[in-house]
Chain A
Amino acid sequence: MSIFTGAWRERSERRLEARRDIRPDMALVPASSIAGRALVTVIAIMTFLASITAGAAILIAEASHGWQDQVAREMTIQIRPTVGRDIEADAGKAVAIAQKMRGVASVRPYTKSQSEALLQPWLGAGLDLSELPVPRLIVIALDPAERLDVGALRRTLAESIPGSSIDDHRLWLERLAIMARTVVLIAAVIFALVLTAMILAVAFATRGAMAGNREIIEILHFVGAADDFISRQFQRHFFRLGLRGGAIGGGLALAAFIAAAALSSWWRATPGGDQVEVMFGDFSLGLNVYAAILLIAAGIALVTAFVSRVIVFRHLRDLN
């Protein structure tokens, strides 16, 4: 074309060399808007809630596994006082029987005073418990390398010591397993609700952005942009918003866990702190919690981009 002459080209190239302010990837959808900031805030809150939910579920599930492991590694022989029998002799006999069994790592009998001390939290200190029929407990630590024949131990004890029984903590294990499953289920439900709320928020925000940028869409159509190109622009816009919101929410969740871990170590020496640690562990963030928060933040950004793409495509289809 005659209008594109060499002299202009040379001068233009020189001018361009001097100026470095060309932005080849400048977003076609304006980056900052009140609606965009509101969406970033919503996504940050959703990511925070989802991350806290997932992190708490992981911590509780891990703590629950810890309890289950601990409980499953032990059994308790209980010897109830029986009229006409020497409970101390029965306890000694039970210890001897248990020690002979294969699969038993160690046997630790509770003395009379230790057994009575266990009742202190319920009955208070300073009471004379000698008249009470306090059962004696013998804790058996199981050898993880060898399986204990619990049936044989139960039969031997029943034959030798009337009034003895074995508690293999099965009831506790079942309850712990149910509790862990319930926690995970509740976390999954909360997570699904948060995700649904976020998808709806993104859908509304996308519709708003499409309406607000209707003229841009029309211009892009007139200059020859395909629907795919336009939807990519919006997808990129919303992916950035999602990424920003996800990073803020995930970062806040991480900070919350770190703060909780610091508080937990600060409280560790107190009775309340001990209880919290027993329930939730020591809040130490394992790699899986970091990975979960990272995955949630990235996943939410991707979901934001995907939802906006679907909405934009539908909108463009309706527009046509």
Chain B
Amino acid sequence: MPAVVAREGFRLVRFENVGLRYGMGAEILKDITFAIEPQSFQFLTGPSGAGKTTLLRLILLSLRPTRGLISLFGRDALSLDKATITDLRRRIGVVFQDFRLLDHLTTYENVALPLRVRGKEEASYRAEVTELLGWVGLGERMHILPPVLSGGEKQRAVIARALIVRPELLLADEPTGNVDPSLARRLLRLFTELHKSGTSVVIATHDLGLMDQFDGARRLVLGDGRLHIFD
């Protein structure tokens, strides 16, 4: 189970008046203010190019805002050193829209990567990785290199890689963008199960059908660089 400290007022992520611009251009995100609670489930939506991926990158601290405050797991994210940023990232699972699998590693090795970078011995996680791969339907494809996998298989491999560390927060960028509707439903079930087990989930999508399948989710809607929240 994720080690979420569900103390009063604790937020996994908190943005206050965050703005972002590239160079001297116009602000692409303006006055973004929101929080992600422990054990919450939300969709981040908006038209293509609205800045959903950029917002996820800000949460991941791979981009720095031009203004505003970001706090991550109760820490002021903009004044953290490298080691602390690494520690915080280890509490977040990420599903990239473009998969980002290492093509020279097998499915198994890709899924085990977050554990390997933490210095764990292969024998200590072998069974767990294999089990998870079976659970996402890749049990027979674990020794296959990503270029041979289909889009849906890659997507499931990326999701398995994000889940293997049982993150406190899962960020998924268009996780169903490359799969058929039936697999999309299976993946959403996977996310909801993960949510039930205590992980906060943020799914960036513009798939209204997907969002309608989960009524209880909060919706964060990006438009014109601003964020509108529908609880």
List residues of chain A with CB under 8 Å of any chain B CB: 1-5, 8-9, 11-13, 15-16, 19, 21-24, 26, 28, 30-31, 215-216, 218-227, 229, 320
Interface of A is mostly: loop
| C-alpha gap A12/B126 in the complex (Å) | 9
**Known contacts A12-B134, A15-B130, A16-B130; A22/B108 CB under 8 A:** yes
Q: What is the CB-to-nearest-CB distance from A142 to chain B, in angstroms, rounded to a whole number? A: 68
B56 CB to closest chain A CB (Å) equals 11
Q: Does B213 lie at the interface of the complex (its beta carbon under 8 Å from any beta carbon of A)?
A: no
Q: How far is the CB of A237 from chain B (nearest CB, A)?
A: 12
Assuming A1-B197, A223-B117, A224-B118, what are 14 further A-B pairs, CB within 8 angstroms? A11-B139, A12-B131, A15-B130, A21-B106, A22-B126, A28-B102, A219-B100, A220-B117, A222-B89, A222-B94, A223-B89, A223-B113, A224-B90, A224-B165
List CB contacts (< 8 Å) of B106-143 with chain A.
106, 108-109, 113-114, 117-119, 121-122, 126-128, 130-135, 139, 143
Please pick, from A24, A31, A220, A224, the residue contacting B122 in the complex, using a CB distance under 8 A: A24
Q: Tell me the minimal C-beta distance from B2 to chain A in angstroms.
A: 9
A16: chain B residues at CB < 8 Å are: 126-127, 130
Report the bound CA distance from A226 to B114 in whole Å: 11
Cα–Cα, bound, A12→B166 (Å): 19
Q: How far is the CB of B184 from chain A (nearest CB, A)?
A: 18
- Give the residue name and chain of the A residue nearest to B128 (CB): A4
Mark B55-88 against chain A: 1 for CB-CB distance below 8 A, else 0. 0000010100000000000000000001100100
CB-contact partner of A23 in B109, B114, B119, B139, under 8 A: B109
Quick check: is B27 within 8 A (CB to CB) of the other chain?
A: no
Cα A222 to Cα B135 in complex, Å, equals 23
| A4 B131 Cβ-Cβ under 8 A | yes
* Residue among B104, B106, B190, B197 with max Cβ neighbours from chain A (10 Å): B104
Question: Which B residues touch A4, using CB under 8 A?
Answer: 128, 131-132, 135
Asked if B105 and A28 sit within 8 Å, CB to CB, the answer is yes
CB neighbours (8 Å) of A221 from chain B are: 62, 86, 89
B208 CB, min distance to chain A CBs, angstroms: 27
Residues in A with CB closer than 8 Å to B196 are 2
Contact B131 A8 (CB under 8 A): yes
Taken residue by residue from 28 to 55, chain B's Cβ proximity to chain A (1 for < 8 Å, 0 otherwise) reads as 0000000000000000000000000000
Q: Is the interface of B mostly helix, strand, loop or mixed?
A: helix
Which residue of A15, A220, A227, A320 is within 8 Å of B139 (Cβ)?
Answer: A15
Q: B interface, how many residues as a size bin?
A: 35 or more
B207 at the interface (CB under 8 A from A): no
CB<8 Å pairs between A and B, sample of 29: A1-B1, A1-B166, A5-B131, A8-B134, A9-B127, A12-B139, A16-B126, A22-B108, A22-B126, A23-B109, A26-B104, A26-B105, A30-B104, A31-B104, A216-B102, A218-B62, A218-B100, A219-B100, A221-B86, A221-B89, A223-B89, A223-B161, A224-B89, A224-B90, A224-B114, A224-B118, A224-B165, A226-B86, A320-B82
Query: Which of B96, B127, B161 contacts A12, CB < 8 Å?
Result: B127
What CA separation (Å) do A13 and B139 show in the bound complex? 11
> Which of chain A's residues has its CB closest to B103's CB?
A30
Beta-carbon contacts of B193-219 to A below 8 Å, as 1s and 0s?
110110000000000000000000000
Are B86 and A225 within 8 A (Cβ)?
yes
Among the listed B121, B132, B161, which residue makes an inter-chain contact with A3, where contact means beta carbons less than 8 Å apart? B132
Cβ contact within 8 Å between A224 and B86: yes
- Considering the complex, give the chain A residue whose CB is closest to the CB of B91: A224
B-side contacts of A15, CB under 8 Å:
130, 139
Shortest distance between the CB of B172 and any CB in chain A (Å): 13
| B105–chain A nearest beta-carbon distance, Å | 6
B79 to chain A, nearest CB (A): 14
Cα A9 to Cα B118 with chains together (Å): 22
CA distance A23 to B109 in the complex (A): 8
Across-interface contacts of A218 in B (CB, < 8 A):
62, 100
Cross-chain contact A3 with B62 (CB below 8 angstroms): no
Q: Could you tell me if B143 and A223 are in contact, using CB atoms closer than 8 angstroms? A: no
When distances are taken between beta carbons in the complex, the residues of chain A under 8 Å from B89 are: 221-224
Choose among A8, A21, A31, A224 the residue that contacts B135 (Cβ–Cβ < 8 A).
Answer: A8
In the bound complex, CA of A5 to CA of B135 (Å): 9
Inter-chain contacts of A225 with B (CB < 8 A):
86, 117
Nearest first, the 10 closest Cβ-Cβ pairs linking A and B are A12-B130, A24-B122, A224-B90, A225-B117, A223-B114, A8-B131, A30-B104, A226-B86, A12-B131, A8-B134
Query: How distant is the Cα of A5 from the Cα of B132 in the complex, in angstroms?
Result: 10
